């Protein structure tokens, strides 16, 4: 997907970028290529692939939620900044927090935020289980892309979501995991599952939209080892 195709496709998502935003995305791509020579940020590095599989893919979250009505976002396990940084560029009003356990990737994101002069972005080096001890039910939207299986993500992410806010997972193929017990315990409700194909290459994508219905019990999330060993299902 070249830049012109990218702009046409996101217009179908009702996203129209300014010249500045287009330049920011291009600079972001250049930083990604440069830093990827120093550390393993992504295996996807060809420009057309980045615009399709990282930039466009990140923006498909608008299929599930109107971001113009969202104020603050937490991106869990953002890695090289997907979807968080892309969302911030395209929706500058968002107050964005990013948490990742890999400090090298946080250093890269610091450089991106500084170079692109992005405001209201907070980068957190740490683990969700620890961050949740002091920050709970504060975000309108929590999102995660290709981080872990859905049953694990629910316990890691739902504690951060405000009541009546949303957790949205961006996945590849539908995992067909039974999450009803997890949702019951963590106080979430599955509102929507959106399945579609990426333009051009037609690879499968799934968006899972979860609404927070009540406060998550304080004993969650458990330690990651416990979550991984015995997910809530």
Query: What string of DSSP letters covers 39-71?
Result: S---S--SHHHHIIIIIIHHHGGGGT--GGG--
The pLDDT value given to residue 178 = 87
This prediction's pTM:
0.95
Query: Within a 10 A sphere around the Cβ of 214, how many other Cβ atoms?
Result: 12
Q: Which residues fall within 8 angstroms of residue 155, CB to CB, at 6 or more apart? A: 182, 186, 220, 221, 222, 227, 231, 232
Q: Which residues fall within 8 angstroms of residue 145, CB to CB, at 6 or more apart? A: 57, 58, 77, 78, 82, 83, 169, 170
The first and second tokens of residue 119, run together, are 């405001």
Residues of the chain with pLDDT under 50: none
* Cα–Cα distance for residue pair 169/163, rounded to 1 Å: 17
The pLDDT value given to residue 175 = 78
What the chain holds in terms of domains, given with CATH numbers, is 3-229 (3.40.50.150)
The pLDDT value given to residue 138 = 97
Query: Within a 10 A sphere around the Cβ of 70, how many other Cβ atoms?
Result: 19
The pLDDT value given to residue 100 = 94
The pLDDT value given to residue 174 = 82
* Cα–Cα distance for residue pair 54/188, rounded to 1 Å: 28
């Amino acid at each position: 997907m070249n830049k012109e195709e990218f702009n046409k496709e996101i217009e179908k998502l009702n996203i129209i970028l300014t010249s500045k935003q287009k330049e920011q995305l291009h600079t972001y791509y250049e930083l990604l290529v440069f830093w990827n020579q120093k550390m393993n940020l992504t295996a996807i590095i060809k420009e057309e692939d980045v615009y399709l599989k990282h930039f466009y893919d990140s923006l498909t979250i608008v299929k599930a939620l109107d971001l113009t009505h969202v104020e603050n976002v937490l991106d869990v396990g953002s890695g090289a900044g997907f979807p968080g940084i892309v969302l911030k560029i395209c929706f500058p009003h968002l107050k964005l927090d990013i948490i990742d356990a890999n400090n090298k990737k946080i250093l890269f994101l610091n450089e991106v935020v500084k170079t692109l002069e992005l405001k209201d972005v907070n980068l957190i080096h740490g683990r969700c289980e620890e961050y949740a001890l002091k920050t709970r039910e504060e975000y309108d939207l929590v999102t995660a892309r290709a981080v872990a299986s859905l049953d694990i993500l629910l316990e890691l992410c739902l504690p951060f979501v405000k009541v009546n806010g949303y957790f949205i997972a961006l996945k590849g193929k539908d995992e067909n995991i039974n999450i009803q017990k997890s949702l019951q315990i963590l106080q979430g409700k599955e509102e929507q599952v959106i399945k579609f194909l990426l333009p051009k290459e037609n690879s499968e994508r799934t968006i899972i939209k979860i609404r927070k219905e009540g406060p998550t019990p304080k004993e969650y999330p458990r330690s990651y080892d416990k979550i991984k060993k015995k997910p809530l299902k």
